[in-house]
Structure 1
Amino acid sequence: MAILSAVTAIGTASPSLAADPKPDAVIKTKSIEARVFLDDRIKTDAPLAADCLAEGKKWLDKNAAEAAASRKQDPQFFKDGGWDFERKYAIRSVVADRYVSVLRNDYMDTHGAHPNSDVNTILWDKTENKRISIRPFFTETTDNGPTMKAMVKAVIASLKIEKKKRDTSETATDECFKELKPSLLKIGALTLAPSTEAGKSSGLTFHYPPYAVGPYAEGEYVAFVPWEQLKPYLTPEGARIFGGARPKGDADEAQ
């Protein structure tokens, strides 16, 4: 299962191992140990690194405060130690030497029935040194508009294919996909997918944590929408950056 792989990967990244990288930010108290990591490619871009680290430190402070409050209220839940949190920022793609897609993966263990994980994304404009959305690539992205309706339809079709690959087609139901809406804020965290054509993106990948589009046991899902399916809705800038095909093996790497 993807989630098991993710948890295993996080486990092997524990700072208790000698070869592990040093966290770029850390908080360690009686209530929590929480870490933030930036991958090496992010660190080569000073504005992007500063942006991610600032966000990561806010995340550390927020969870440290929540852990301390929880320990004060229910100290028995901390008899085996504090919470364990980890956030990792990693570059997924760089398109047109300008648009950087970053995956943000979170791991959270609050001594519940099982650890939880989350995934979100950042689209960074290297020219403007700021976070952006995909709006500049599409002629319109209004809620329930033609672009978003086509996009959510393609996302659900991709997720159904992924569920079939995992023999979990029984959960490919309207109920599982009910949270996906034709809205940029409700369709899922997305990235520009890499391409076989240098400097281009082959389409959009949508990243879903456990529970988002299926039971926890199914783990994470990644949906892929080829750029050709969105071609009618592209702006000139969108037409410039999209092209080629999804590289072989990217589906496995994205999971």
Structure 2
Amino acid sequence: MHCPPASNTLALALLLALAACQQSATPAGLPTEASASASAQPPAPPAPAPAPTAAARKVNEKTDLYEFTYSYPAAAAAIPALRDWLEADLARTKAGLASDAGEARKDAKAEGFPFNAYTASSQWQVVTDLPGWLSLSTLVGSYTGGAHPNYGFDTILWDKAANQKRTATDLFASKAALKAAVLKAFCVQLQRERAKKRAGEEVGDPVGEFNKCIDPTDQTVILGSKGHTGFDRIGFLISPYAAGPYAEGSYEVTLPVTAAVVAAAKPEYKAAFVAQ
């Protein structure tokens, strides 16, 4: 049997003793240098809470005096300045309705005839929502005690970059320039729409009031987008009596945006249009 020299045995014992001292230098349970450095770092900040989602708004109020309805979509509520404008319009319309209805009821009582509650309604809807623009339209209905209710149209074109309310015609050099760009196509399409409503029959004199073309820029002009890259459609909402008798109701004419329409736009707004 071979035994190691005594000097080797002594060296091995010394190494084992040094290792035991190094292990005991850091008491159990205390952090090492690496772990202490990691624990000294501040905790990560909590993730920000998601922004509240804008909600559509709808008011429907019915009393003995009136019935009032007003609504607008979430896309409009998401723009603070536009939301403020709509809220002011809501309050103004409701106050006017209540005042007019109250006066009418007093008059009816004094004259000894029945009072019928007034109505007013506006229901704003999105025509198109583009990165730089929000186009809205609404049917505005009212009843003030006549033979039948009345209604018309309104529109808002919100310029997101300027944070400002505009109308569609504001984007053109003039109403005359827009009229010249669309009149021929508008008149052709209006006659087609009349023919659909009348089942091919004319109403009265062929050159009478409800057979003539009308000025498209006197109607409610709206801008829309089928391709969602720019305004590529232009619409004309026509109230009863403007293009036909009340029984025919309203008319709507929609035309593609052409190079002539783009040419009629103000220089600073030409880029908002896409010619078809």
Common topology (TM > 0.5): yes
Equivalent in 94, 115, 120 of residue 85 of structure 1: 120
3-state SS, counterpart of residue 74 of structure 1: helix
- 8 Å CA contact 2:65–2:101 kept in 1: the answer is yes
Amino acid at match of 1:89: W
3-state SS, counterpart of residue 104 of structure 2: helix
Deviation at 1:214, TM superposition (A): 0.9
Q: How many residues align?
A: 215
Equivalent in 169, 175, 182 of residue 209 of structure 2: 175
Percent identity, aligned pairs only? 24
Which position in structure 2 is the counterpart of 1:193?
224
Pair 1:141-2:174 in alignment: yes
Deviation at 1:155, TM superposition (A): 2.7
Q: C-alpha distance in 2, partners of 1:24/1:151?
A: 36
Please say which structure displays the higher CA radius of gyration: 2
Deviation at 1:92, TM superposition (A): 1.0
Equivalent in 149, 166, 190 of residue 159 of structure 1: 190
Q: C-alpha distance in 1, partners of 2:159/2:207?
A: 36
- 1:28-59 Cα shifts (integer Å, max 9, x gaps): 54321212111232222222122112112211
3-state SS, counterpart of residue 105 of structure 1: strand
Pair 1:217-2:247 in alignment: yes
- 1:107-132 Cα shifts (integer Å, max 9, x gaps): 22334332222211111111222211
3-state SS, counterpart of residue 69 of structure 1: helix
Q: C-alpha distance in 2, partners of 1:22/1:49?
A: 10
3-state SS, counterpart of residue 87 of structure 2: helix
Deviation at 1:209, TM superposition (A): 2.0
Pair 1:103-2:140 in alignment: no
Which position in structure 2 is the counterpart of 1:70?
104
Q: C-alpha distance in 1, partners of 2:57/2:114?
A: 26
Deviation at 1:23, TM superposition (A): 6.4
- 8 Å CA contact 1:163–1:169 kept in 2: the answer is no
Amino acid at match of 2:174: T
Amino acid at match of 2:179: M
Which position in structure 2 is the counterpart of 1:43?
77
3-state SS, counterpart of residue 148 of structure 2: coil
Deviation at 1:136, TM superposition (A): 5.8
Q: C-alpha distance in 2, partners of 1:110/1:239?
A: 42
Task: Flag the 1:244–1:215 CA change in 2: closer, same or farther, 3 A.
Answer: same
Which position in structure 2 is the counterpart of 1:118?
152
TM-score by length of 1: 0.71
Deviation at 1:193, TM superposition (A): 1.7
Q: Which runs of 5+ in 2 are unaligned?
A: 1-54
Which position in structure 2 is the counterpart of 1:55?
89
Which position in structure 1 is the counterpart of 2:38?
none
- 8 Å CA contact 2:168–2:222 kept in 1: the answer is no
Higher relative contact order (CA 8 A, sep 6+): 1
Deviation at 1:63, TM superposition (A): 1.7
